[in-house]
Amino acid sequence: MTVLYVCVLLALSLRGLARRLRHKECFDEDEMKARVDRFLRNHTAGQLGGHMKGHMEGHVEGQLCSSFQLQASSPHHSNRSISPWRYRYPKSVAVAVCLCEGCIINGTEDTSYNSVPVRQVRRVLRRVRCPLNSTRYSLKTSLMEVPVACTCVIPKQ
């Protein structure tokens, strides 16, 4: 009876090892890109999608507060905001960066107000190298709080 029990345990552990070796959650580069595309379609509808591409067209990279001009007819909030921002992409996540310390009042920066980031929790994918096959990856989802815009506030007293 004990020998049978040991054989069953050995067979189960070998089966588990074989399953890990071909690890269904490990993808080659093409499979991973397809999974990422599917994730983006399912989890960014109405958040980023094509909207972000169009939103980026109105921004000037490296723009400073001193050179910012309000654009009342712009479809993008950041161009009409008294607390403007631009986006940068550290590690493929769009992050809003406030252009001004103060707020744009009557066409000039007024530092008696503060521009502060508005934060939102976003679901992101992280690529993890598979332990048994370094040419394949798995994808893990996690939540990340990121600045998505800026707003104008009265300074803390």
Domain boundaries, the chain: 62-156
CATH no. for 62-156:
2.10.90.10
For tokens 């066409």, name the residue.
107
65: which 2 tokens?
Answer: 């507060």
Name the more confident of 44 and 46.
Answer: 44
Q: Judge contact between 94 and 146, C-beta under 8 A.
A: yes
Q: Is 42 helix (H, G, I), strand (E, B) or coil?
A: helix
Q: Which of 64-68, 97-101, 116-120 has the lowest mean pLDDT?
A: 64-68
pTM: 0.60
Residue 59: pLDDT band by 50, 70, 90 thresholds?
A: very low
Q: Which residues contact 12 (CB under 8 A, 6 or more apart)?
A: none
Q: Is 127 helix (H, G, I), strand (E, B) or coil?
A: strand
- The whole-chain average pLDDT of the chain stands at 75
Residue-level pLDDT at 39:
75
Among 73, 86, 71, 58, which residue's Cα sits nearest to residue 147? 86
